[in-house]
Amino acid sequence: MNVRFCIKAIISFAVIASLLLSSINLVYGAVVLDSYTAATAYGFIISKVHWGTSSAQAQSWNQHLYDKAKVTSIKVKAYKHGSPTGTLRCRIASHTGTWGSTGKPDVDLEESTNSYNIASLSTLSNRPTTITFTFAGDAEILKDTAYTFYVYCSNGVLDGSNYVVIQGYLGHDGNRAQPTATEGIWGSSAQNDLYFQVYGEEIPSGEWHDITSWNFNLTTRAWLTASTWNFNLSARQWLDVALWTFNLTIMQWQNIATWGMNLTTMAWHTIATWTFNLITKAWNNITQWTFQVISKTWHNIINWNFDLISLGWHAIAHLVFQISTTNIPILFIGLLFFCALIFTALLLAKRKND
């Protein structure tokens, strides 16, 4: 058998398999929520560190893909003039003003987790640096709602001869904005836009959120804030009673010492390690158990882990990468096809050598 041919076949198979897996990975990767990349003919200056004219550059944007999304990164193009120093950062903010004409930042929602060293910027306007600001995804971005982001210098030395240029042009349906000389006041420009790409991901219904201050209303099957609403076990209704509240974080009733009402026996019991199972209508020990909201069943949390991608539980001892079920047949058929080609080629080579 031709050994060299076999090696080439194996390498080809590995490359093809890698490409297939890479394409699968794109399904779960961040997507472009909004962008403007038509041209970079204009340049917008950042020449101050603290508030003032040309101390930041902002752009309005929105997303039409998901009911709720989170931003993972924002990209802009920039270069430097002279020898400015310091670091650039980016913030996501809410939007005020009229979309596309007087839009400007309002309330800051989230700041980038990284910064960019100004000294590393290109000095050529025709070969600008692409800056990627990353975000933790803390801000909840709603569908068809206007937002803004702005790039600013958090520290360093900039002036009229040493400054940063954020590139852009015109054509996005939003608009650019920049600070005025009056602190806290933004000015808008309906005539141009920044070059930008906002990447993000959907916030699925199975993603966990902070429920410290939330209660579930068993009557209406809806969530209520626990600050003033509590469930009266006697009347079977929600009342404004300060001493009654159910804490879903620790799965027990609060503000009633260490006693809880057992809805099964209709008697009071200590609730230090007990919680009520709405499925079986019985109390369970919560030391090793947790409620899986997707399958509506209880699971032992010692050996299980919740996978936010597949929205399913997995044994920690056997963690696997979850592939969308819609892509499994494509991947499987593709791999079988290329395996068959390689096997046939090897068989023909062996017969030829024999």
Q: Which residues, in sequence order, are CB contacts of 335 under 8 Å at separation 6+?
A: 17, 20
pLDDT at 79: 97
The one-letter code for the residue type at 114 is: N
* Segment (H or E) for 68: strand 68-81
CA-to-CA dists, residue 213 to 251, 260, 325, angstroms: 13, 19, 36
231-274 confidence digits (pLDDT tens) = 545 554 545 434 445 555 555 555 444 455 555 555 555 545 55
pLDDT at 348: 79
pLDDT at 353: 72
pLDDT at 102: 96
- Rg for the chain (alpha carbons), in Å? 28
- In CATH, which of 3.30.2310, 2.60.120, 2.60.20, 2.60.40 is domain 37-202? 2.60.120
Report residues of the chain scoring pLDDT below 70. 1-28, 205-332, 354
Cβ–Cβ < 8 Å for 188, 102: yes
Give one DSSP letter per residue of 146-199, joined into a string.
Answer: -EEEEEEEEEEE--SSSEEEEEEES--SS-EEEE-SSTT-EEEETT-EE-EEEE
Dmax over CA atoms of the chain, in Å, equals 90
> What is the 8-class DSSP label of residue 252?
E
**Nearest partner of 45 among 159, 130, 163, 152, judged by Cα:** 163
User: pTM of this prediction?
Assistant: 0.54
> What is the 8-class DSSP label of residue 354?
-
pLDDT at 318: 37
Residue intervals in the chain for CATH 2.60.120: 37-202
Q: How far apart are CA 159 and CA 163, in angstroms?
A: 6
Q: How far apart are CA 67 and CA 142, in angstroms?
A: 6
**Nearest partner of 30 among 207, 206, 198, 208, judged by Cα:** 198
Beta bridge mates, 92:
110, 149
Q: Which residues, in sequence order, are CB contacts of 20 under 8 Å at separation 6+?
A: 331, 334, 335
Residue 332: how many CA atoms within 13 Å on its side-chain side?
7
Percent of the chain at pLDDT > 70 equals 56
Beta bridge mates, 206:
none
88-141 confidence digits (pLDDT tens) = 999 999 999 999 999 999 999 999 999 999 999 999 999 999 999 999 999 999
